[in-house]
Amino acid sequence: MTRRWIKCPVENRKDWEDLQRRYDADDPTRLPADAAALGARLADREGYLQLHFSGPFWQLREWVGFEGLCTLFHDDPGLVREMIAFWESHIARLLRRAFERVIPDEVHLSEDMAYKCFSMISPAMTREFILPTWKRWGEIVRGAGVPVYGMDSDGFIGELIPLWIEAGINMCDPIEVAAGNDLPAFRRRFGRAMAYRGGVDKRAMARGGRAIEDEIARLRPVIDDGGFVPSCDHGVPSDVAWPDYVRYVGLLAKATGWL
Partner 1 sequence: MTARRRMLDAMLFRRPDRVPLQPGGGRRSTLEAWHAQGLPADVLDYNEYAYRLAGGTLPWPVADSRFRVNERLIPIFDEKVIEERPDSRVVQELERQHLRNRQGVYGRASARRD
Residues 190-229 that bind partner 1 (CB under 8 A): 192, 195, 197, 200, 223, 226-229
Find the helix or strand (DSSP H, E) in which 78 lies.
Answer: helix 77-101
Which residues is 230 bridged to in the sheet?
Answer: 198
Residue 184's CB is within 10 A of a number of other CB atoms, namely 14
Touching partner 1, residues 99-158 (CB under 8 A) = 101-102, 104-106, 110, 147-148
Residue type, 173: D
Beta bridge partners of 140: none
CB 182 to partner 1: min, Å: 19
Binding of residue 3 to partner 1 (CB under 8 A): yes
Kindly report the length of the chain: 259
Q: Which stretch binds partner 1 (CB under 8 A): 44-52, 72-80, 135-143, 158-166?
A: 44-52
Would you call 15 helix, strand, or coil by DSSP? helix
Closer CB to partner 1, 74 or 210, in the complex: 210
Residues 149-178 that bind partner 1 (CB under 8 A): 170-171
Long-range contacts of the stretch 237-244 (C-beta < 8 A, 24+): 237/202, 237/206, 239/206, 240/202, 240/205, 240/206, 240/208, 241/206, 241/208, 243/208, 244/205, 244/206, 244/207, 244/208, 244/209, 244/212
Selected from 14, 46, 78, 145, the binder of partner 1 by CB under 8 A is: 46
Element housing 152 (H / E): strand 148-152
Contact stretch for partner 1 (CB under 8 A) within 47-55, 114-122, 137-145, 207-215: 47-55
Q: Which stretch binds partner 1 (CB under 8 A): 75-83, 90-98, 125-133, 207-215?
A: 90-98
Instruction: State the Cα–Cα distance between residues 244 and 83, nearest whole angstrom.
Output: 46
Task: Pick the closer one to partner 1 by CB: 3 or 74.
Answer: 3
Instruction: Confirm or reject binding of residue 12 to partner 1 (CB under 8 A).
Output: no
Binding residue (CB under 8 A) for partner 1 from 16, 19, 144, 208? 19
Of 46 and 78, CB closest to partner 1: 46
Q: Which of 72, 83, 98, 177 is in the footprint of partner 1 by CB under 8 A?
A: 98
CB atoms within 10 A of CB 59: 21
* Minimum gap (Å) between residue 60 Cβ and partner 1: 12
* Complex with partner 1: residue 6 or 74, whichever CB lies closer: 6
Nearer to partner 1, 12 or 48 (CB): 48
